[in-house]
Amino acid sequence: LDSDSLIPGGNTKYCTVMIRRRQISERGKCKRENTFIHAMAGAILDVCKAQSVKACKVGRKNCHTSDHSFKQTLCVLQGFGYYPNCAYVSFPKFKKISLACTGLPRVPVYVDP
């Protein structure tokens, strides 16, 4: 989730800056991919209120799909880096999102690819 997508240096540095700022990694290594959804938190929480629930692509059974598309940025690791010196390339996306949601009230715990 990223409601503040203005990063000095433009989109070419967006992923690298945001992933480093948020200390995103996988078991102490550079994460291969990460998606940022550009929306306010309330809009994301509304997806978890959707009545339609389906199986997620990764085996979870509690995925909710949005009714509309969201602006997103897909970040892909560029080459090989050692955390925290990871470099990413960014790809803009505009599509519906699927979220695994749990609890009462439901909150997102995973973005289904």
DSSP string, 37-92: EES-HHHHHHHTT-S-EE--TTS-S-EEE-SS-EEEEEEEE-S--BTTB--EEEEE
Which pLDDT value is given to residue 45? Answer: 93
Which pLDDT value is given to residue 61? Answer: 76
Residue 53 CB burial class (10 angstroms; 0-12, 13-18, ≥19): middle
Model pTM score: 0.81
Specify whether domain 11-112 bears CATH 3.10.130.10. yes
* pLDDT block averages, 10 residues each, the chain of length 113: 55 87 93 92 90 73 89 91 90 92 87 77
Sheet with strand 53-54: strands edge to edge = 53-54, 63-65, 98-102, 107-112
